[in-house]
Amino acid sequence: MDSIEIEFLAEKAPVTIVPNFTHDKLYLISGDVGPFTAGLPVEVPLWLGINLRQRGKCRLVAPEWMDVEKLTEKKEEEKQSKVFTQMPCEHYLIVTQLLLSSAPEDIPNAQQIKTLVKDIWDLRISKLRSSVAEFIESEGTHATLDRLTLLEINSVRPFLPHAFDQLHRLSKSAHGSNLSQTTQDIQY
């Protein structure tokens, strides 16, 4: 899956906005949105929120988890834990990215949040890499990785199976050549 596709999926995540206009319900394919009342928070899909924000029609409200304290905690937890921890949002990186790029002034401590989320991402990716490395070294045949988010899985997906294929091929050929070697030895 492409990161663009994942972003597309992530844009369906609900986000709270405070509109500065009043409008009736919008009947969208994915469901009804609204009604919008100026000054009152309403939950909309992320794509709509960002779109409205770009047009200056609303103010985005940072999701509950997008809070320096909570993210610091999460980061600490991620750091302490050997396995992956549950993320507060399936598309945390994308949501953060989108929100921060479209409305940094709506999110308190935007810079810090950006850093924190990036840190968490790095932690998880390095965890993922190291576990992949461990997996290969231990020559295991299967492994489970729980609580990986879509984007994280897809960060290794195109490459890892391919690499395994290559490895497999290499080991197979090595094995084969070994075999042929031995047969040759016997022959001699």
| Contact footprint for other proteins (CB under 8 A) | 16, 18, 20-22, 38-41, 59, 61, 108
H helix runs in the chain, sequence order = 3-10, 46-54, 68-80, 92-102, 110-137, 150-156, 159-187
What are the φ and ψ backbone dihedral angles of 98, each rounded to 5 degrees? -65, -45
Provide, rounded to whole angstroms, the least separation between the CB of residue 77 and other proteins: 20
| Choice between 25 and 157, CB closer to other proteins | 25
| Choice between 21 and 159, CB closer to other proteins | 21
Q: Directed axis angle between helix 92-102 and helix 46-54, to 10°?
A: 10
| Choice between 60 and 93, CB closer to other proteins | 60
Radius of gyration of the chain (CA): 24
| Choice between 22 and 173, CB closer to other proteins | 22
Provide, rounded to whole angstroms, the least separation between the CB of residue 19 and other proteins: 8
Provide, rounded to whole angstroms, the least separation between the CB of residue 44 and other proteins: 15
CA proximity to 117, closest of 162, 79, 80, 66? 66
Provide, rounded to whole angstroms, the least separation between the CB of residue 22 and other proteins: 5
| Choice between 98 and 107, CB closer to other proteins | 107
Q: Is 23 exposed, middle or buried (0-12, 13-18, 19+ CB in 10 A)?
A: middle
DSSP 149-165: -HHHHHHHTTHHHHHHH
Q: DSSP letter for 145, please.
A: -
Provide, rounded to whole angstroms, the least separation between the CB of residue 92 and other proteins: 20
